[in-house]
Structure 1
């Protein structure tokens, strides 16, 4: 995992967490890329972005799904 500053060249398609309630709480957005995923604070879209490799992202998503389904 690494911290990156968003580039003006690439325009990832950001998706807000389905658990965001719009009331100003802690929310994240993510964007899937060719090499993994990007994650940022939805309240600071110009701020830092965490870049997560494909394997780590898939492991995270699988763990979240198992937790919500189980």
Structure 2
């Protein structure tokens, strides 16, 4: 993952973009953690609402996706 950057819309979330994301306009997501919940958003359109999931659900998803 790349270094976290402050979210301009609010100081509570520090969004992290995947290191697999390129500067060539590829599709990517960003994630942020707050109070045990994981926030997921489209890195190309950060004005849209983010998806919020429980931290344990995110851990299960990442474990499944990495297999």
Give the match for residue 33 of structure 1: 34
Gaps of 5+ in 2: 1-8
Give the match for residue 43 of structure 2: 42
Please give the secondary structure, in 2, of the residue aligned with 1:26: coil
4+ residue runs over 4 A deviation:
none
The alignment covers a number of residue pairs equal to 59
TM-score normalised by length of structure 1: 0.70
Gaps of 5+ in 1: 1-7
- State which structure, 1 or 2, has the greater radius of gyration over its C-alpha atoms: 1
Q: Which has the higher strand share?
A: 2
Q: Which has the higher helix share?
A: 1
- Residues 9-44 of structure 1 show CA distances to partners (whole Å, capped at 9, x for unaligned) of 652010001211121111100001213200000011
Give the number of the structure with larger relative contact order, counting CA–CA contacts within 8 Å between residues 6 or more apart: 1
TM-score normalised by length of structure 2: 0.72
Q: CA RMSD in A?
A: 1.7
